[in-house]
Amino acid sequence: MKKFTALISVLAMLTSLTAFPASAETAVPVDVNADAYAALLDSYGCDADKDGVVTEEEFRSVQSLRMNPCGFEDLSWMAGMDALTSITFEEGTLSDAAAQSLLQVPQIDTVQMYNVTLDSIGFLRDMKLKYCRMQECTPFSDSELLSIMRVENVTVQKGFAAKGGVFPEGLFSTKDLMLTIEDTSVACLDTYGTVQSPSSNSIFYGKEVGETTFSLSIYGREEFTGKIIVEDFTPEVVPLHETPVEAPQILDAIHHGGGIGTALLKGDTMYSLNDGALQVEAEHVRSFHSDYIYDETGKNGYCDIVVHHDGTVTTNGKQLHTDQKFVHGEDGCCITEDGELYVIRKENGEYYADLLYSDFGMYDPKVGQCFFSKTGEVIYKSYMEQEDGSCRWQAFPTGITDVISAQANYFVDKNNILWQVEHEKGADPQVVKVAENVASIGIHKYEEYPIATVIYIGMDGKAYQPSTGKEVTLIEASEDPEKVQHYLDAANFSVWYDENGKMMSDPSVGHDYHLTRDNVLTIDCRGKKTAITDVVQFVDNEYSEYGKVLYAYFLRTDGSLWCYSSETNDFSEITFEVPEAIAGDVNLDGSVGVADAVLLQKYLLGKTVLSPAQAENAELCKDHRINGFDLAALKRMLLSS
């Protein structure tokens, strides 16, 4: 749901690398000694606008510094670098005096040294670093390295995360480390959606109120132990609706996503989320999906495709150029009521529909570029170059029918034969027989390969790789550690930047929100903690300009939509405005016409179905049923008008 957010974050980061240009004749150098100034000019990023002058403003905004320590006896001038957190020394000797002066620069939490000579490393212990790496430096013994490491106990609230362990990280190879928790019913590693690498420290999640310990082993020997305290945290208990409401459908949407890539479909109205409120994006929506659409040059772009109740289609808000009427959209295509499949094409900024196949049956999301005909045959959809050099979608019948199991481009038929549809660029797809006596095919993990991949199960109950036919041993779901989640959902809020381009989100401190197994949503926004009960799904989040206010959206168990605002550090419900019903507007196009009578007649003949909103407008006699009397009433309305 964060496709747009990721793009905006990258653009903001690139923008942050460029400061407003200033004339070198008017720029005033920062007031430091000559050696320090030379080191600043030589370090990448200190002269942000590249005008040959490091100003006081640039000096104070430097976040990382890379330099040769030779000749320096005092580095305390770095204390004026307000944003400095990381320093890298390369080559030469770091004198004891220079090392000790670093204790006057408390904002530094990361030190890296490459090919540096130094007499002692005691100063590193006193700096209380988060990370330290020494490569090709003066060798020090394991006991000396251990002496500069320190234990940070963990205090965390139930449902939240906090960092702790043994610091600094980086002194030992990760393969030689093991961090363990004694009682994982009290606390665990905060690893939802990620696999944490071995480390001397970690982010801990508080599961239940209580105490336990963690231990760090190096080379298989326990060296450090620390305490984990999980404190209670009382969430807000906000009453639910006495009668559950219809929850909106959550959609991935670029054009209609309001800048965060998420839209909501409630009834047949599509909304975006903006600064804690709803904004109408499209009305009379019958179906919606997003997909990649090719243009005349062969390039593709992500587009929102909306099929309206009157059969028209808009793509990224533009009307689709076609006389056809559609009932559904999927996989970058639109389907008519008679089963004609049209693929959408972009040309000169406009969108067109090309007939691809006339006997469409259904899509199966598991089979990628394939679909099924009305007779059940597998049809392969491929983007092919034509003789004139242009590219068009083409449909290729495969001859594969009576499919009982499918995954990607593999299909098992009723005779238990496994087929594969192969396709090389520039060539027509080919159907290959892979194996016989196959019961099913799907996504599984097996012992020799940690990532889930396509595996088929034979009639003998054994598992095999389709590419080689090699037998493999599956990892059962109960044995798969990634299946044992300690919470329903967790993630960081989108990264954001202030007006100076400085990144303000810090994912290294743990997930910003957790949805616990007992449906409590906990939020940690810049150190402000809050929580609310009865939450079933986290929807998305956004920031106001320059990240001044965070808005986080979520659904509660009664179907209602709510929002958290960091401005008030509180929760509020977002209500949907129900569009005014128009009696007789069966196709929901905003007016009453002949098309409404035609649609109602189709419904009475069993040729189509009506949405709840359509049914409400069609029920003209107000007798809680839809029949021929309603159709007669609609015809009278049309005659009278």
Query: CA–CA separation, 560 vs 577, rounded Å?
Result: 13
pLDDT for res 526: 81
Query: CA–CA separation, 517 vs 353, rounded Å?
Result: 46
Query: CA–CA separation, 224 vs 60, rounded Å?
Result: 37
Residues 113-151 have pLDDT tens digits of: 999 999 999 999 999 999 999 999 999 999 999 999 999
Q: Are 376 and 358 in contact (CB under 8 A)?
A: no
Domains of the chain: residue spans and CATH: 3-147 (3.80.10), 150-231 (2.60.40.1080), 594-640 (no CATH)
Tokens of 228: 């984990």
What is the helix, strand, coil percentage profile of the chain, to 5? 15, 40, 45
- Residue 197 is classified by DSSP as P
pLDDT-flagged residues of the chain (< 70): 1-25, 192-197, 389, 477-484, 496-509, 578-579, 612
- From its phi and psi, is residue 254 left (phi > 0), alpha (psi between -120 and 50) or beta? alpha
Tokens of 633: 């009433």
Tokens 């599956």, residue? 474
Burial of 20 (0-12, 13-18, 19+ CB in 10 A): exposed
Distances (CA, A) of 600 to 285, 515, 592: 18, 44, 12
Query: CA–CA separation, 142 vs 209, rounded Å?
Result: 37
Query: CA–CA separation, 169 vs 110, rounded Å?
Result: 9
pLDDT for res 623: 83
Q: Are 576 and 280 in contact (CB under 8 A)?
A: no
**Of 47, 48, 40, nearest to 66 (Cα)?**
40
pLDDT for res 500: 60
Q: Give the phi and the psi of residue 337 in degrees, each rounded to 5.
A: -65, -30
Three-state secondary-structure class, residue 637: helix
Q: Residues 6 or more apart from 163 whose CB is under 8 A from it?
A: 152, 154, 201, 202, 203, 204, 508, 509, 510
Tokens of 548: 């001044």
**Of 179, 207, 180, 177, nearest to 192 (Cα)?**
207
Tokens of 128: 């209380």
Provide DSSP, 242-297.
SS--PPPEEEE-STTTTTTTEEEEETTEEEEEETTEEEEEESSEEEEEEEEEE-TT
Burial of 73 (0-12, 13-18, 19+ CB in 10 A): exposed
pLDDT for res 118: 93
Tokens of 389: 């050099």
Q: Are 634 and 600 in contact (CB under 8 A)?
A: yes
Q: Please provide the size of the chain in residues.
A: 641
Residues 467-522 have pLDDT tens digits of: 999 999 998 755 444 445 788 999 888 776 666 656 555 556 678 999 999 999 99
Distances (CA, A) of 384 to 96, 129, 420, 426: 68, 57, 19, 7
- From its phi and psi, is residue 539 left (phi > 0), alpha (psi between -120 and 50) or beta? alpha
